[in-house]
Amino acid sequence: MVEDNNLETRLAEQDEFEPPAEFVEQANVTDEGIYEEFEENWPGCWEQAADLLDWYDDYDQVLDDSNPPFYEWFTGGKINASYECVDRHLDDRGDEVAIEWVGEPTEEADRSITYEELHREVNEFAAALRDLGVGEDDVVTMHMPMIPAHPIALLACARIGAPHSVVFAGFSANALAERMNAADSEYLITADGYYRRGDALDHLSKSREGLEDVDHDVETVVVDRLGDDGPGHDLHESEHDYDDLVAEHEGATVEPVERDAEDMLFLMYTSGTTGQPKGVKHTTAGYLAWTAWTSQTVLDIKPEDTYFCSADIGWITGHSYIVYGPLALGTTTVMYEGGPDYPERDRFWEIVEDLDVTQFYTAPTAIRSFMKWGSEYPGRHDLSSLRLLGTVGEPINPKPWKWYYKHIGGESCPIVDTWWQTETGGHMITTLPGVSNMKPGSAGPPVPGVDARVVDGDGEEVPSGGAGYLTVDKPWPGMLRTLYKNDERFIEEYWAEYSDTDSDDPDDWVYFPEDGAKIDDEGYITVVGRVDDVVNISGHRLGTMEIESAVVSADGVAEAAVVGADDDIKGEVVHAYVILEDDAGGEDAVRAAIEAAVEDKIGPIARPSKIIFTPELPKTRSGKIMRRLLEEISDGEELGDTSTLRNPEIVADIQAEVRGN
């Protein structure tokens, strides 16, 4: 015990950690010269990433920057993502496991899907999709839980050149409909349900409800996940059973479509400043090169590894680092259906032990929960197979970082704290695990070849030790190409802030991720969080404006403002400040109506943790709601300037209400 205490003290005081020697000995990248080499050879350095792929036709040019910010990468090249992730591994690794699927019920056997089996099922389903009418460039929407058919469907779409648009299964019927309409998507793949904390949950009713609001006809494929446990839906006429489709196409093969490097691979809707979700467009070669290269360089993935990322495929982390990156490298990727605390709080560690997991990648919110639950849960398991740990999605404080380092990594695994976004496609700021020292709380330097900086409001770099806004001054292969059918908004959202938008010189164009950041004297960047109206709830990215419009739509609400408030476990939670209509029912009724509206329009993850009723909202003289002030009130912080308010007297009342709430 005394020894343990010493250890805790030593860890608490240590603010820099060297990469563990044992790790470095075997790491994919160990030469710190990579930074200089990439800088000197930019953008040619990215040929290294392209070399990880097999090309039908080689590309003519690494980067075409003739029309910024519409950059094109590996132009002239031809490639197919399904071929890269499946076919090309068959000779060497056909019998090895591609996807190790773990269902939530412990009595259910895991499914180990070899590359050979994955190839067969991807082909059969690709043939089925074609027969349903899916053509090249048709957008196929998926609203799917974490079941094997999900990655199979992604790869089947990629095989026939049909871009996919995945809507997180936790999102509501309304959110599904909105995204299907925006993408003119005529195909939907969904499932009857899934298991969560021991219950068989109905999912199909939600998808069906969404389809009622889709303004065009849709062919739907339904995966039967629950069998007899499910609510036993009889399929509608426009619905096809996944198993039947695959059985009808048994043994079918579909030649992978040769896609242009710049052809769309997928769309992913994400939250931004306005209420309307943004359709982030990723293309084939640049995205795949980026996710494969970062999987190798940052996550240190090798084909013989068993790699476990606990994200959901419905978010970008699952796309890039459960499916495309790991499978492009021919490794074994683990996917788990359920929650971390079912049947007990050691479920992840049980999976790590059972499968001899070598890399584990999760979000800080999960780590904060593990820490709260206590070290006895990982302590029950032999985690010595682990070689590397990763985190993503939000800032991680030094305390949970050190807990993770000690209790999961046994002080022998490097931790990569990876900053990136839906828009960046893959990692942008992180230490290289076999090269750089780690500083808990700081993501680290930009990835080699990435020109991330911290600037002030005028775009001037801040001195070391300074704070400001994050920018990326040069393009990179994994970047979004535009917002779907909305080039103007693409420029407005990501470039206008720091670019000369009239210029056609790429040096005048700067990408703005809308994050605040600090930089230290060694160039380590700490990303502190969004500077726009985006909240990060348990690592899930949501827009306060989307939530606000749901709240306002509830019966009895006259006006509302939604802000993100700090939370020890979830990172942030939603607080809704609400003015009641004169003839509204009681507060309880309105509260229930608000909760229902948010669940209905977005999903349960966006539900406010606090609803604060107030007769007025703090407003500027021009009538703008001061959301910043409400955020300070929610966080119990000292309030900034209130002198510009039209109604400063309301502030104290609201504060009292929040304290009492």
The interface with ligand WTA within residues 432-491 (CB under 6 A) comprises 443
Q: ∠552-555-558 over CA atoms, to 5°?
A: 50
Tokens of 116: 């050979």
- For position 400 contacting ligand WTA by CB under 6 A, the verdict is no
Q: Largest Cα–Cα distance of the chain, in whole Å?
A: 73
Site for ligand WTA in 113-142 (CB under 6 A): none
417 binds ligand WTA (CB under 6 A): yes
| In the complex, minimum distance from the CB of residue 611 to ligand WTA, in angstroms, rounded to a whole number | 25
Structure tokens at 156: 């089947």
Q: Name the residue nearer to ligand WTA (CB basis): 163 or 393.
A: 393
Which residues 325-384 are close enough to bind ligand WTA by CB under 6 A?
none
Segment contacting ligand WTA by CB under 6 A, of 148-156, 163-171, 527-535, 633-641: 527-535
Helices first, then strands: H and E counts in the chain: 23, 30
Least Å distance between CB 97 and ligand WTA?
26
Closest separation in Å from C-beta 580 to ligand WTA: 33
Among all chains, which residue has been given the structure tokens 């190798």?
296
Instruction: State yes or no: residue 571 binds ligand WTA (CB under 6 A).
Output: no
Of 64-72, 125-133, 313-321, 625-633: span binding ligand WTA (CB under 6 A): 313-321
538 binds ligand WTA (CB under 6 A): no
Residue (220 or 526) nearer to ligand WTA, CB = 526
| Closest CB to ligand WTA among residues 174, 365 | 365
Residue 316 as a binder of ligand WTA (CB under 6 A): the answer is: yes
Count CB-CB contacts under 10 A for residue 112. Answer: 15
Residue at token pair 């001061």: 626
What does the alpha-carbon distance between residue 430 and residue 357 come to, in Å, rounded to a whole number?
Answer: 22
CA–CA gap between residue 182 and residue 174 (Å, rounded): 12
Residue 516 touches ligand WTA, criterion: CB under 6 A: no
Q: Which residue is nearest to ligand WTA (CB)?
A: 422
The DSSP line for 449-517 is T--EEEE-TTSPBPPTT-EEEEEE-S--TTS--EETT-HHHHHHHHTTTTS-TT---GGG--B---EEE
Q: Minimum CB separation from ligand WTA for residue 421, in Å?
A: 4
Segment near ligand WTA (CB under 6 A), from 62-70, 302-310, 413-421, 611-619?
413-421
Residue partners of 195: CB distance under 8 A and separation at least 6: 103, 104, 105, 201, 226, 337, 338
For position 282 contacting ligand WTA by CB under 6 A, the verdict is no
State the nearest-atom distance from the C-beta of 422 to ligand WTA, in Å.
3
**C-alpha closest to that of 483 among 227, 262, 190, 279:** 279
From the CB of 312, what's the least distance to ligand WTA, in Å?
11
Task: Determine, following the binding rule CB under 6 A, whether residue 319 of this chain makes contact with ligand WTA.
Answer: no
As measured in angstroms, the least distance from the Cβ of 575 to ligand WTA is 19
Q: How far is the CB of 52 from ligand WTA (least distance, A)?
A: 21
Part of the chain binding ligand WTA (CB under 6 A), chosen from 104-112, 126-134, 310-318, 569-577? 310-318
Q: Which residues sit opposite 612 in a β-bridge?
A: 577
Nearest CA among 322, 326, 346, 324 for reference residue 336 = 322
Which two structure tokens, joined as six digits, stand for 627? 């959301």
Cβ distance 220 to 239 under 8 Å? Answer: yes
Candidates 43, 161, 330, 395; binder of ligand WTA (CB under 6 A) is 395
Q: Looking at residue 438, what DSSP letter applies?
A: B
- How many angstroms separate the CA atoms of 315 and 150, rounded? 13
User: Site for ligand WTA (CB under 6 A): which residue of 174, 295, 296, 317?
Assistant: 317
Among 74, 187, 420, 511, binds ligand WTA (CB under 6 A): 420
Own/partner pairs for 595-600, CB < 8 Å, 24+ apart? 596/554, 597/550, 597/551, 597/553, 597/554, 598/547, 598/550, 598/551, 599/172, 600/172, 600/173, 600/174, 600/550
Kindly tell me which residue out of 422, 442, 482, 549 binds ligand WTA, with binding defined by CB under 6 A: 422
Contacts 24+ apart (CB under 8 A), 519-524: 519/453, 519/454, 519/462, 519/464, 519/465, 519/466, 519/467, 520/439, 520/442, 520/464, 520/465, 521/464, 521/465, 522/445, 522/464, 523/445, 523/464, 524/439, 524/442, 524/443, 524/444, 524/445
When the beta carbons of 123 and 283 are compared against ligand WTA, the nearer one is 283
Per-residue contact flags (x/-) with ligand WTA for residues 239 to 278, judged by CB under 6 A: -------------------------------x--------
- Which range touches ligand WTA (CB under 6 A), out of 69-77, 226-234, 295-303, 315-323? 315-323
Contact residue for ligand WTA among 291, 418, 431, 544 (CB under 6 A) = 418
Measured from the CB atom, the residue of 43 and 426 that comes closer to ligand WTA is 426
Q: Work out how close the CB of 433 gets to ligand WTA at its nearest, in angstroms, rounded to a whole number.
A: 14
Give the list of residues 6+ apart from residue 471 with CB closer than 8 angstroms, or none: 452, 453, 454, 455, 459, 498, 510, 511, 512, 513
The two tokens of residue 14 are: 């240590």
Query: Residue count at the site for ligand WTA (CB under 6 A)?
Result: 22
- Least Å distance between CB 426 and ligand WTA? 9
To ligand WTA, the closest distance from the beta carbon of 25 in angstroms equals: 26
CB contact burial 300-332 (16+ within 10 A = b; e otherwise): bbbeebbbbbbbbbbbbbbbbbbbbbbbbbbbb
Residue 499 is a binding residue for ligand WTA (CB under 6 A): no
Minimum separation from the CB atom of position 430 to ligand WTA (A) = 7
Taking CB under 6 A as the criterion, the residue among 421, 482, 549, 634 binding ligand WTA is 421
CB-based contact 424:289 (threshold 8 Å): no
Judged by CB under 6 A, the stretch of 241-249, 332-340, 372-380, 388-396 that binds ligand WTA is 388-396
Any contact of residue 394 with ligand WTA (CB under 6 A)?
yes
Considering beta carbons, is residue 297 or 421 the nearer one to ligand WTA?
A: 421
Question: In the complex, what is the shortest distance from the CB of residue 540 to ligand WTA, in angstroms, rounded to a whole number?
Answer: 7
Decide: is 536 part of the binding site for ligand WTA (CB under 6 A): yes
Among 132, 492, 529, 569, binds ligand WTA (CB under 6 A): 529
11, 406 in Cβ contact below 8 A?
A: yes
Q: What's the min distance (Å) between Cβ of 504 and ligand WTA?
A: 28
How far is the C-alpha of 558 from the C-alpha of 578, rounded, in Å?
Answer: 8
* Contact pick of 515, 533, 548, 572 for ligand WTA (by CB under 6 A): 515
Alpha helix positions (H), 301-346: 316-318, 325-328
Structure tokens at 73: 């990468």
Binding site for ligand WTA (CB under 6 A): 270, 315-317, 392-395, 417-422, 443, 513, 515, 527, 529-530, 536, 541
